[in-house]
Every structure is written in structure tokens, then in C-alpha cells.
Structure 1
Amino acid sequence: MVSTVFYVFIFLLALLSYIFIKRNNREPHKRLKLPPGSMGWPYIGETLKLYSQDPNSFFAAKQKRYGEIFKTHILGCKCIMLASPEAAKFVLVTQAHLFKPTYPKSKERLIGPSALFFHQGDYHIRLRKLVQGSLSLVAIRNLVSDIQAIAVSASDSWVSGQIISTFHEMKRYSFEVGILAIFGHLEERYREELKKNYSIVDRGYNSFPTNIPGTPYKKALLARKRLSKILSEIISERKEKRLLEKDLLGCLLNSKDEKGQVLTDEQLADNIIGVLFAAQDTTASVMTWIVKYLHDHPKLLEAVKAEQKEIGKFNDLNNLPLSWTQTRKMPVSYKVVLESLRMASIISFTFREAVDDVEYKGYLIPKGWKVMPLFRNIHHNPEFFTDPQKFDPSRFEVPPKPNTFMPFGSGVHACPGNELAKLEILTMVHHLVTKFRWEVVGSESGIQYGPFPVPQEGLPARFWRESSS
């Protein structure tokens, strides 16, 4: 009897030891703790708290209380927020394979599930190379005069005497530049149909996702189908004419993978709409802020004017358009662009999702949780940017520390069109300060989100032609 009890005891001890060792070998992350923070109310988390105030204040207060890594629950998701350069690099660059890009399905449906920024792996690498190639410095250097012509055309109506929405006008300009980069010189009928239907998709993109007829989201879905049809016509026409254009559509059409497969019309359409979406609101937001910052800083405006009028005077005397070389030699204006990108931080954060349990600085980032590097918190950290709430372009006379300035993201999912965006912005700055003077109308403070931050009401302003004297 005693021996039986002894053997049972030995067996149970061995079993417990096995379970303990197995658990410790297989689940080391279970011993880690979650970052500090509050998850808010059941189901709704802290979403109401986030949207009842300036989102930047919400994130700044969290960082002040909990540090540079903290948890929360917003928009129906359990989230880990990261507010340090090291953490942003960890998620976006060095361990990017552990974090996949993630977007709500409702937004995927409007842009198209094959758009490159919804993917990772081989498909993403292939598409990114194509987009980057068509928007590289070599590819866009010949677009300067065309972009300048678009700026002139877009601003023709500004001097009607009416108050205009600066953001609305900059969106019109950005859309036309996007069309140029994607299609080259597209026929007017196609351009107008794309513009009309894309604007409906744009209005529904951030609306409540419902299929009820008449709602902005349902209208957007229908407009998205019409966009596919229009793009299919453009693609068919290109294929028939066998044109070897070097614009984005040309690069996509002429691409074959290692098996000789070409992209389907659906993949082409999704990526074209994705690039249009990425090219419009963000760039338009930055340019709207530049108009405001220059208006609010008269001495800086005069310095930018002096730089740009010197270029304009030379071109007028020699009957020349703005050149690529000139856009690369605008040091004062370029620092204004960089500081505007830092101050406004149009992309305040980015969404990723942990594909496995991940350890970071002793904390657990659980599989399936959203992970959000907070670019704005980093850009407004006094440790990296002295007096961060002050608009001071001179701070960029010295390059910022690595991973402290990421206006276009970082890593494999960084914006592939950042050079086009900077060219587009500098071209508009040149046209703006050499041809116009302006005043902001109404409130000069306040920010609205839709979802990108822009000055209140899109910065209403009145413009006049600058005298030629």
C-alpha cells in the first residue's frame, strides 16, 4: 500500500514538473505584464474620452501619466501606444515583420483590398517598388513645369473677391497633381468623371459604415464601383494603344512578377485609388498649415518671399518656367515645409497589429492588439525639439536626431510619394508668395479633424494678386 502511494506521488510530481517546464518553455510571454494605462469602460473603452477633446491632448496626457508606452482601448480595439523614437523604430523598421498594417474593413472596401498599404510580404514589396519607381526623383524631375501650370490654373479663381476655403482649394490642386503623376496628361472627360466620383468616395470615407441607401457611406460604395468602371476604360485604352508611358499607370501595366503574371484590372484600380487617396488630403493639409503659419509670421513670410522672388525674377527675365534645380535650392522655404510637417504632424500616428506575442522593454504586446507609434508625441517632445509649440524653421538648420522626425512614416510602409509631395508643396509655395498676398478671415485658432488636422473651417481666407512692382 505504501509503495503504491509512493509511486502515485512520484508520478504526480513528475507530471506537475512536466507541465511547469512545458508552460515556461512554450509561453514565456505569459510571465510578462501589460504596459500601464487605463482600458476605460467595457465595450466602449476610452473612445468617448478621446473624441471629447483634442486627440493630441488625450495622447499627451496619457504619456505624461504613464510614460512612453501605455495601453488603452479605443475605436473598439485594445491598443498599445508607443511614444519614443526607439519604439517607433522597433515597430516600423527593425521588427516590422511582427506588426502588420491594419485598417477597418469599411475603409478597405472603399479604396480596394489590393492597395499596397493593406499588405506585407512579396506582394507589398513588388507594388512598393513599382510605386516608388514611378515617383522617384528621376521620374518626377520632368513634372515641375506641369505642376506649376496646375498651381496657376488651380488659383485662377482665388482673386474673385470671395472668401475661399484654403483646404478645399489645396485639395483641388493635390488631386490634379495626383492625376498627373498617375496618368500623365489624361483626357478631360476622364479627369472630370474621376474627380466627381472620387469626391463622393472621399466624403463617405470617414462616415459611419452602413449599407442604408442615401447614407454617405452607401453613396461612396456606389461611386467606388463607378470609379472601377472609369479606370477599366482608361486601362483598356492604354492596352489597345500599347503606350509605354513612364507614369504610375504605365509602370503598373508593364509589370510582371517572377512567373510572368501581370496585375489584374482590379489590382490596378485598387492601387491607383490608393495612391490618389494618399496623395490628396495629407498634402493639402500641410499646404493649408503653411498658408496659416506664413500669415502668422510676417518676418518669415518676407524671407520666403525674398527667396522665391529672386527665382521668379530670373525666370521672368529669361522667359523660363520653374525648374527642378531651382526647387532643390530653396533653403528657407524648405525649412518652412519641414517645420510645418513637424508642427502639424498630419499623420499623428499609424496603426499596426501584432501578429504574435511580442516583448518590448519588459512589457507584453499581445497578439492581435493594435500598436500605434505616436508620431505627433515624438515631434512635440521637448527632449528632441526645443520649445516644441513654437513655429521655428531654423531648428532644421541642424538635422534632427534619428527616428525623431517621421512626417512620412518610417520603414517598409513609409510614404513612397514623399518626394512628389515635397515638390508639389514647394511649387505651390513659390506660386503663392510670388503672385499673392492674403489674409485669414474669422477665427485664427482651432483645429478640426476629418481625420487629418486642418485649421478651423479649412482656413477661410481672402486672396489678392501681388503687385508686380
Structure 2
Amino acid sequence: MVKVMMRIKSSSMYRKTLIPLGARGWPFIGETIDFVSCAYSDRPESFMDKRRRVYGKVFKSHIFGSPTIVSTDAEVSKFILQSDARLFVPSYPKSLTELMGKSSILLINGSLQRRIHGLIGAFFKSPHLKSQITRDMQSYVQESMAKWREDQPVFIQDETKNIAFQVLVKALISLDPGEEMELLKKQFQEFIAGLMSLPFKNIPGSQLYRSLQAKKKMVKLVQKIIQSKRDHGMISMVPG
């Protein structure tokens, strides 16, 4: 079932617009704690199910610092997603926009978004790159399986995430598994942990603060890796 969250931009709009039934929860944090706790449980859909039974397929809430309209209705969600930013403009939690940046593909709309999607698609459709990704994936799967032991459990989701990360990093910056890859993965895991968190970016110790610090470390590490490859003639320079 498709679920869409629409964020209401201002309190005046929230008051004047005819909005669905629902609850706003606690001041500022709203229903964020309940939403996150359900997301990490064995029934992540329970947050939606509980409110859908009480308020209907479309209901209001307050998540990650923003008033939110949640749609669990397939037809409503389809209409919203196909509006091409004419009637509905995509909006995301403050934590996600802080981490991804204003120029992220998530935050642009219309023709520019389609153009960037096309460029990214063309990059990954390159026959040479597809061949390389296939070889790398096979190699990393074999390396992962070689470490499995009969007396130890194998967590397929974790193994799959690790292999996918290795393949993408190799495709994007030509980095092989090793110490730098592990350091990059550690910072990446800290980074994505803050994508759905309370927007306390200036409070040391908060998840968003830690994720922003991890992003800075990732950028520096990637710049260092790319510069090192350039210095050793491993990346061809394109004239400006």
C-alpha cells in the first residue's frame, strides 16, 4: 500500500485549510516518538494502521517537527505522486533536508529533476559500467560467502547492504574494499541514522548533530581519495 506524507508549510495554512481528522501529539515533537518506535519494531506499519482505523485512510499528524497529512489511500497517493509538482510540491522532514542539502535531487522538481534523473540513468546504463558492476558484485558476494560459518548466524539484510555499499562506492569513486572503505561505511551509517530524526542540529550529542558531523567527515574522506587517485594518474582530468 502506497503511503504519502504531505507537509503543511505554515500554521496559517494549517488553520485555514480543510484538513482531515487526526492528532498532533505532544508540543513540538508531535507523534515522532511513536512513529520512530513503530518503524524500528517488527510491525512498522502499526503507526499507520492504528490511525487509519480511527481517522480513516487520510489523516493528520505531526512528525519530525512538521504538521503532516498522511495518505494510505492508493488512489489519493497515486494522484499526488503523478501531479508532477503542479498541485503538490514534495517536502521532506527537516532532518533529511539538512543532511541532503538544498541542491539534492530530492528537493528539486519538474524539468530539472527529470533532466538529472536522465543523466544519472544514462551513467548507470553505460555498458562498461554495467559490466564492471556485475563483476564487482559477483566478487563481493563470493568474498562475503567465504566468511560464513556453519556455527554462526548469517544476517542476509546486513550482508546485502554491505555488498550494495561496496558496489556503489567502487562504481562512483573506484575504491576497493579496505580500511578507507570501512571508514567511509562507518560515517555513512552515522549519516543515514539522522535522516529521520528530530531537527536538533545545533545540540551536540543529538542524532542530527552527529549525522551532520559524519557528513563532513565523509566529504573530506571522498575528496582525499579522489585527489590521491588524481595525483597517481588513476583519474583522467577533464579540461575545464
TM > 0.5 fold call: yes
Number of the residue aligned with 1:229: 220
Number of the residue aligned with 1:90: 79
Please give the TM-score of this superposition, normalised by the length of structure 2.
Answer: 0.68
Q: Unaligned stretches of 5+ in structure 2?
A: 1-14
Q: Cα RMSD over matched residues?
A: 3.7
Distance of aligned partners of 1:215 and 1:160 in 2 relative to their CA distance in 1, 3 Å threshold: farther
1:173 paired to 2:163: yes
What is the one-letter code of the residue matched to 1:168?
D
What is the one-letter code of the residue matched to 2:125?
S
Number of the residue aligned with 2:99: 110
Within a 5 Å distance, the mapping from 1:336-415 to structure 2 comes to none
2:45 is paired with a residue of what secondary structure?
Answer: helix
Q: Unaligned stretches of 5+ in structure 1?
A: 1-29, 245-252, 255-261, 263-469
**In 1, are the aligned partners of 2:24 and 2:67 still within 8 Å (CA)?**
no
Matching residue within 171, 181, 186 for 1:191: 181
Structure 1: how far apart are the matches of 2:93 and 2:61?
Answer: 18
Distance of aligned partners of 1:60 and 1:200 in 2 relative to their CA distance in 1, 3 Å threshold: closer
Please give the TM-score of this superposition, normalised by the length of structure 1.
Answer: 0.39
Distance of aligned partners of 1:226 and 1:88 in 2 relative to their CA distance in 1, 3 Å threshold: same
Note the C-alpha offset of 1:147.
Answer: 0.8
Note the C-alpha offset of 1:176.
Answer: 0.8
Larger Rg: 1
Aligned residues: 217
Note the C-alpha offset of 1:130.
Answer: 2.0
Distance of aligned partners of 1:86 and 1:123 in 2 relative to their CA distance in 1, 3 Å threshold: same
Which gives a bigger RCO, structure 1 or 2 (Cα 8 Å, sep 6+)? 1
Matching residue within 114, 127, 144 for 1:154: 144
Number of the residue aligned with 1:81: 70
**In 2, are the aligned partners of 1:135 and 1:181 still within 8 Å (CA)?**
no
Percentage of pairs with the same residue:
28
Note the C-alpha offset of 1:92.
Answer: 1.2
Number of the residue aligned with 1:135: 124
**In 2, are the aligned partners of 1:45 and 1:72 still within 8 Å (CA)?**
yes
Q: For residues 129-179 of structure 1, what are the alpha-carbon distances to aligned partners after superposition, in whole Å with 9 as ceiling and x for unaligned? A: 222112238566413232111111122222162334443333222211221
Distance of aligned partners of 1:126 and 1:52 in 2 relative to their CA distance in 1, 3 Å threshold: closer
Q: For residues 22-45 of structure 1, what are the alpha-carbon distances to aligned partners after superposition, in whole Å with 9 as ceiling and x for unaligned? A: xxxxxxxx997333x222446354
What is the one-letter code of the residue matched to 1:33?
L
Structure 2: how far apart are the matches of 1:221 and 1:234?
Answer: 20
**In 2, are the aligned partners of 1:154 and 1:172 still within 8 Å (CA)?**
no
2:70 is paired with a residue of what secondary structure?
Answer: strand
Number of the residue aligned with 1:144: 134
1:70 is paired with a residue of what secondary structure?
Answer: strand
Distance of aligned partners of 1:40 and 1:164 in 2 relative to their CA distance in 1, 3 Å threshold: same
